[in-house]
Structure 1
Amino acid sequence: MGFNGQGIRRFQNQKEIEKFVGIKAYAFPECDGIGGVYKHRHEDFIVKEITKSGEILTNYDDGYFIISDQDSEMYTTFILQKNNIDTFEAIHLISKALKVPKSKFSYSGLKDKRSISLQKIAIKGNYGEELHNLRIPGISISKIHHSSKPIKIGSNQGNYFVITIRNIEKDTNLRERAEKILDLVSTHGFLNYYGLQRFGTFRPNSHLIGKFLLKNSFKQVFDEFVTQLYSSESEQSLKVRSKLRDDNDLEWASKNFPKSLNYELMMIQHLIEKPNDFQGSVNRLPQALIRLLISSFQSYLFNELISLRVEKGYPLFEPVKGDVISILDDVNGDLTHVSYIFGNGYDQYLLKALAMNRGAIVAPLIGYDTNLNQFPLFNELFIELLEKENFNRSIFNSHYFKEFEFKGAFRAMINKPQEPQVIEIAEDDNFPGKMKMKISFSLKSGSYATMLLRELMK
């Protein structure tokens, strides 16, 4: 990553972008990847939610129920299949068509835009008939039912993926190489990084904006959000951002920034009305976006801590003194709040829990209530990270952390996919002379399939 004379933040390849957001290490660097590209076509990336009962969602339509009782506490649930549309946009389109506020929608999580995805959505109220008759390009709706409850974030068990990797060099050992890596990640796991989607695809800077927010550096928030240039964004965006940065003509910017840059336009308009009120311009942003920006910085710190641990030579799959082990609620289950520090007298039991897939080494997601003394090893690493990032712990007392309830939590350092397998290897119809590979696997909620692909493809 570097800057040219025009102040554009440039990345030569995806690995440079990954390093920029803290993704630096591999679980199995000794294994050569298979190469290739994913998401060449949106239908190459299929993701389906897995319910708490273990059911993989399908769009097979079993009819629908129209609720005659207009109970305001009732919810209408349905399966949303979207093709090459992100979750926010799909909900916006449905909301607009039904004339229902977006605040009435609930769902378990966001799905990749460049994909075919199936997820369960709920709307407060009775909209069975309207949903049944709805026709929107790229969107299909099935399994319309009623429920007494909304859908909570993270309420699904996980996601099932079917992914086609293209443009792979021909190799007689291709299947063997791929299956070796998939066996390793199935047995031992891969690094549970937050993926690039967390930070922005074309402008991977949401963590920087979040950091400036927490430091109350509102002018820096504006500069990074509105005028910082990224070589990966569109030519039109580069042109208008560059002109505003060079001329500082807010009136011109308000008329010439594309409407797609609506958040930037909100901030620009505020500064026209109240010059130099950068804090006020930030407060114009939707609360959900501010939450996302702060969460991105929290995710960045997690990524950096994991990378620093690897850099220091600590083992990935075995605990060392000062590690924290969380007990899982089932075999390969979810983390619980029951945790122990390795090296404090319970080691034989903790090693047994890890061997039985009933425990996981965890790293902190730092919030205002995090006591890093409870994470002895990561506390040492965090002190190094503070120096590198040029900030101090006081930013975790920011009112933003408290206002949005970023109390702090922890996240598994390693992620084990369920049943990863190579489904098919064939000649690539999109890249003549190359191969394509179709794989499938399941991941827990909150995991990133792209991080498993990164380990496989390198």
Structure 2
Amino acid sequence: MVPNLDKLIGISTYCTKTEGTGGKIKSSPEQFFVSEILRDKVLDKISSSGSYAIYKLKKQGIDTNHALSDIFTKYGLRLKALGLKDANATTEQYVCDMTTGRSADTLITNRYTLEKIGLVQKPLTKKDMVGNHFKIKIENADFVKVAQFTDHDKILNFFGYQRFGSKRPVSHIIGKAILQKNFDYAVETLLSFTSEYDLVHNNKVREMLKDKSNYAKVFDQVPPQMDIERIVLSEMISHDNPLKALRAIPIQLRRFFVEAFQSFVYNQTMSRAYEFGENMIQPQQGDVCFDKDDNLGRYENDPKQRLAIPLVGYSYSKKNRFDSFISQILVEQQITPKEFFVKEMQEASTEGGFRQAIISCNDFAIKEPYVEFTLSRGSYATTLLREIIKPSDPIAAGF
């Protein structure tokens, strides 16, 4: 039986049979370390000459979006990350200046450092990153059972809890409301959706925000860490226009909400296909696959190809063996692929795409009380750890 939180984000199964080790992660950011790995050919292109600056961003206690926003506000550098990293972790990642011209050498604050490592001719893209290396402490785990865990190459590549807002799994619900052009409900959900896992004060504020007439009265009680809520609330107090309020949110977050709903459909697709008995590990004739260089193509009986599962968007094609699951889920959710194009918010629209079905996990090692491993780009360490620990209460276990 999976925890209720898993079901809320579309995960209804485990894909390993081992007994859970129990234990807790992320008691402090130092216990969860992650560093990005760039392709060798990209590292070779970083030099002392070029148009775009490349930096290494090391941070702790702040997520990537907030760190980049802070850097832009304080130093005027508009940087782009290849991947998003959690606040409750110690992380190292590469970021690229999107404009030619001004750059900085080293910036140091109490939560992050930004160190210039060189220049490139073209800005980096997500494809330039191979994956991430993790070193994670699991407190109070049964490490005998951890040692018995050998199925790290058979784990479904679910989107993890962070994709939806761990303590308040709401991002996909907001995204769905945007797709259905129900902007009133998107704002209402963003401001007032409560969760049993959230802080008592936050829930108290959100309860008051269920009544629109309270917006102005409650504004000063909204804590600073609820910065997105403050932006939306301020707009609603000024204009009472939900679409305008949503468009005041940074563009990457607007996209994130829609992509979170796409991720929810994907998680449900994976769960149902696995439970139905579909082979998720070996690709078959007619499947879409990634090759060794992460390029998409049809199955060619190449052992290095990896099965790809559709991410629904406005260009979704039904020609795949997972369509019966995807179409059923979309009917249940009362959404059509065409609705992933939002005329009123085109910048949040998504064409769709594909995601690797199984996590590519390398260098798995146990150095009690730590586990270390390398995952391919876009895969979640918490998805792998979920299969090892099998927590009855993911939030209490640090997820």
Question: TM-score over 0.5 for the alignment?
Answer: yes
Q: Which of residues 140, 150, 157 is equivalent to 2:123?
A: 150
Q: Is 1:449 aligned to 2:381, yes or no?
A: yes
The answer (yes or no) to whether the contact 1:108–1:120 under 8 Å persists in 2 is yes
CA RMSD of aligned residues (A): 2.8
- Once residues 123 and 28 of structure 2 are traced to their aligned partners in structure 1, the CA distance between those partners, rounded to angstroms, is 33
Q: Which of residues 318, 322, 342 is equivalent to 1:398?
A: 342
Q: Which of residues 101, 108, 111 is equivalent to 1:138?
A: 111
Deviates most, 36-45 or 399-408: 399-408
Corresponding letter in the other structure for 1:371: S
5+ residue gaps, structure 2, are: 391-399
Q: Is 1:185 aligned to 2:152, yes or no?
A: yes
Q: Which of residues 361, 366, 385 is equivalent to 2:312?
A: 366
What secondary structure, in the 3-state scheme, does the structure 2 residue paired with 1:250 have?
A: helix
- Once residues 319 and 41 of structure 1 are traced to their aligned partners in structure 2, the CA distance between those partners, rounded to angstroms, is 40
Q: Which of residues 306, 310, 315 is equivalent to 2:279?
A: 315
TM-superposed deviation, 1:240: 1.7
User: Which residue number corresponds to residue 37 of structure 2?
Assistant: 50
The answer (yes or no) to whether the contact 1:325–1:359 under 8 Å persists in 2 is no
TM-superposed deviation, 1:191: 0.6
Q: Residues 243-292 of structure 1: CA distance to partner in whole angstroms, max 9, x if unpaired? A: 222473222133432343332233333333334x3333323333222111
- Alignment length (residue pairs): 386
- Once residues 351 and 195 of structure 2 are traced to their aligned partners in structure 1, the CA distance between those partners, rounded to angstroms, is 32
Listed as ranges, the matches of 1:6-155 within 5 Å are 15-28=3-16, 30-53=17-40, 74-98=51-75, 100-101=76-77, 104-123=78-97, 124-125=99-100, 130-132=104-106, 134-142=107-115, 144-155=117-128
Corresponding letter in the other structure for 2:274: V
Q: Is 1:211 aligned to 2:157, yes or no?
A: no
The answer (yes or no) to whether the contact 1:54–1:157 under 8 Å persists in 2 is no
Superposition TM-score, scaled by structure 1 size: 0.77
* Cα 1:126–1:218 shift into 2, 3 Å: closer
Q: Is 1:201 aligned to 2:166, yes or no?
A: yes
The answer (yes or no) to whether the contact 1:179–1:421 under 8 Å persists in 2 is no
User: Which residue number corresponds to residue 339 of structure 1?
Assistant: 298
* Cα 1:125–1:43 shift into 2, 3 Å: same
* Cα 1:154–1:232 shift into 2, 3 Å: farther
Corresponding letter in the other structure for 1:237: N
- Once residues 37 and 413 of structure 1 are traced to their aligned partners in structure 2, the CA distance between those partners, rounded to angstroms, is 27
- Once residues 92 and 320 of structure 1 are traced to their aligned partners in structure 2, the CA distance between those partners, rounded to angstroms, is 44
- Once residues 400 and 294 of structure 1 are traced to their aligned partners in structure 2, the CA distance between those partners, rounded to angstroms, is 13
TM-superposed deviation, 1:125: 4.6
What secondary structure, in the 3-state scheme, does the structure 1 residue paired with 2:218 have?
A: helix
User: Which residue number corresponds to residue 326 of structure 1?
Assistant: 289
Corresponding letter in the other structure for 1:261: M
Q: Which of residues 173, 185, 208 is equivalent to 1:220?
A: 185
- Once residues 75 and 247 of structure 1 are traced to their aligned partners in structure 2, the CA distance between those partners, rounded to angstroms, is 46
- Once residues 269 and 89 of structure 1 are traced to their aligned partners in structure 2, the CA distance between those partners, rounded to angstroms, is 19
Please say which structure displays the higher CA radius of gyration. Answer: 1
- Once residues 417 and 54 of structure 1 are traced to their aligned partners in structure 2, the CA distance between those partners, rounded to angstroms, is 21
The answer (yes or no) to whether the contact 2:134–2:373 under 8 Å persists in 1 is yes
The answer (yes or no) to whether the contact 1:23–1:303 under 8 Å persists in 2 is yes
What secondary structure, in the 3-state scheme, does the structure 2 residue paired with 1:106 have?
A: strand
TM-superposed deviation, 1:18: 1.8
TM-superposed deviation, 1:416: 2.2
Superposition TM-score, scaled by structure 2 size: 0.87
Identity %: 25
* Cα 1:193–1:248 shift into 2, 3 Å: same
The answer (yes or no) to whether the contact 2:82–2:94 under 8 Å persists in 1 is yes
User: Which residue number corresponds to residue 395 of structure 2?
Assistant: none
Corresponding letter in the other structure for 1:76: A
- Once residues 371 and 112 of structure 2 are traced to their aligned partners in structure 1, the CA distance between those partners, rounded to angstroms, is 25
Q: Is 1:256 aligned to 2:188, yes or no?
A: no
The answer (yes or no) to whether the contact 1:154–1:446 under 8 Å persists in 2 is no
Q: Residues 367-409 of structure 1: CA distance to partner in whole angstroms, max 9, x if unpaired? A: 111111x11x211112321343244455235336854452121
User: Which residue number corresponds to residue 343 of structure 1?
Assistant: none
TM-superposed deviation, 1:325: 3.9
- Once residues 256 and 401 of structure 1 are traced to their aligned partners in structure 2, the CA distance between those partners, rounded to angstroms, is 30
What secondary structure, in the 3-state scheme, does the structure 1 residue paired with 2:354 have?
A: strand
The answer (yes or no) to whether the contact 1:368–1:402 under 8 Å persists in 2 is no
* Cα 1:140–1:314 shift into 2, 3 Å: same
